[in-house]
Amino acid sequence: MSGIFVTGTDTDVGKTEVAAGLLAALKARGVVVVGMKPVAAGCVDTDAGPRSEDALKLGAAGSIEVDYQDINPYALADPVAPHIVAGQTGVDIELGRIERAFATLSEQADMVVVEGAGGWCVPLGPSLSMSDLPGALDIPVVLVVGLRLGCLNHSLLTAESIRARGVRLAGWVANQIDPDMAALDENIATLAALLGAPSLGVVPRLDLPRPEVVAEYLDVQPLLR
């Protein structure tokens, strides 16, 4: 397996923390891994150019140092939907550029952990969506489920759409973003029964979700088979 694509049931469900945790867990298994954030919005200007906080986290969690431009080919300024800010700034998000960056990273590592932006179907342009990337890169998907009211519907709809595009759902991670969620265990049990993919772990609400801490709650063995 050359990589995995990390998507979520929505924005702000902890994709970056889980993706970095997966990197840490795989690295602990002796896998040479690198992170990738193909498209990021809400970047800040630095002397080296625009930088995404999420992309920098993924870069730091990897096994080796790689060029930032390969980690994050499209670094967009405003924290709004990528296709909107891209259109406003005259940027055309091209699949080929993402594929080339992924290929470069794949040559340097055993596995590339690719994190999407927002949810599964976020548009990237008039004819390109985030959901196009896993098929184009030929990698399966890991779904991050933000545990809160409504997560069952969002999870099942996302899993259905993933499979409808001919992409394999390699596993899912439950992330407790609502510390007061009612019937937490029952919701997790329902997800396990209905998603039809391996559970890679349940991450509790963490004050400091450092990659090595998140990794303690993850089982990456199903990704190595």
> Which residue numbers are catalytic?
37
Report the chain's terminal Cα–Cα distance, integer Å. 9
Closest CA to 97 of 137, 62, 61, 59: 137
Here the tokens at position 201 are: 């772990």
Q: What residues pair up with 194 in beta bridges, in sequence order?
A: none
Helix (H) / strand (E) element for 50: namely strand 49-51
Distance of alpha carbon 220 from alpha carbon 225, whole angstroms: 10
Phi-psi region of 148 (alpha: psi -120 to 50; beta: other; left: phi over 0): beta
- Signed CA dihedral, 207, 76, 26, 120: sign only: positive
As a whole number of angstroms, the distance between CA 150 and CA 21 comes to 24
